[in-house]
Amino acid sequence: MKIALVGATGMVGNVMLQVLAERNFEMTELIPVASERSVGKHISFKNKEYTIVSLQDAVNKQPDIALFSAGGDTSLEWAPKFAAVGSTVIDNSSAWRMDPEKKLVVPEINGDVLSNNDKIIANPNCSTIQLVMALAPLHKEYTMKRVVISTYQSVSGTGVKAVQQLENEEAGIEGEMVYPHPIGRNALPHCDVFLENGYTKEEMKLVKEPKKILGDDRFSITATAVRIPTAGGHSEAVNIQFEHDFEIEKVRKLLRESPGVIVQDNVKENIYPMPITAHQKDEVFVGRIRRDESQENSLNLWIVSDNLRKGAATNAVQIAEYLVEKKII
C-alpha cells in the first residue's frame, strides 16, 4: 500500500510520521510531499531516507491513501486531483468538514459511515475530536439538550511560529509575533479569526462539527475558545444539560468503557487531566466529573488531549487503519 503524506515537513506532518511508525502502519511505499522549496530534500522514516516530492509527482504515483495536513487552500485544490486517480484522501484542514457530501469522522464514534465511495474524508477540528470522544457515550445514554464549552488551547494548535513566539517571550528574545498580543503569562480569547457574529472560526467549528459527527442537530452548543501559554495539549471545561437524569457513577462507567477515553478523576489525590500529562499520548482524558447543582440534569466535565496526536495526526491515521481493517480500500 502506497501512502502519500502531504505537508510532511510541518508540525502535524512530523507527528503523523511518528504515529505511522509507532502504530507500524503497513505500507509498501511512503511518498512525502511538501512545498516546492522543500522538494528534493530528505526526511527520515523508520531509519530510511525518503526524498520529498511535489504534489503533482505524488498524484502521478497514484497512492492508495493521501494524508493531508497542508492547509485548506492546498486541500481544496489538490484533494480532488488525488481522488481522481483513485486515492483516498484523509484531510486535516477545515476545507471539507462541513461539505454535506463529505464524511467528518472520528473512528471510535462514526467510522461506520465510511464506504468505498468516500474518496475525500475530513478529519475534525482538534478541539472537536476530544469533545465528542467524551460526549458521544453520554449523548447516547442521556440525550444532550445543551452544551457549553470553554477551551484552553495550546499554542501548538496555531503552528510552529506560535510555539516560537512563546519560547522567545520566555527567553526574553524579541521575535516574530503570531498573536496580536504577548502569549506568555497571558490568555487570549481569540482562536482563529473573528466572524461577523462576534465568535471566532474555532468557536463555530465547536458549534457545528459535533452535530455532524454525532448525526444529530437537536441539541444546542455554544463555545468560547481561549489560547493559553502551554504546548502539550488542549483543555476544555464542558457543561452538559441532558434530557434525562443520570448517576455520576454511571457516567464514570460509560466514559471508562469508551474506547480511547481514560478517566482521571480522584480529586482527593489531586488526580485530574492536565496538558503536561496528556502530552504525546493518543487518548482523551476526562476528569472533574460532577453534577451541576445549579440546573437539573446537568453535568460538568474537564477534557484534555494532545491536540497534535488524537486532535490531528492519530485520528487521521486511525481513519486510514479503519479503511484497511474494514477492507474499504
- Tell me which of 42, 139, 190, 234 is the catalytic residue: 234
Inter-residue contact 7 to 70 (CB < 8 Å): yes
126 is catalytic: yes
- Tell me which of 126, 139, 191, 279 is the catalytic residue: 126
Largest CA distance in the chain: 61
Inter-residue contact 147 to 221 (CB < 8 Å): yes
For residue 144, give every residue at least 6 positions away whose Cβ sits within 8 Å of its Cβ, in sequence order, or none: 135, 138, 219, 240, 241, 242, 243
Inter-residue contact 108 to 133 (CB < 8 Å): yes
Inter-residue contact 205 to 72 (CB < 8 Å): no
φ/ψ of 118, rounded to 5, equals: -90, 100
Q: Return the active site residues.
A: 126, 234
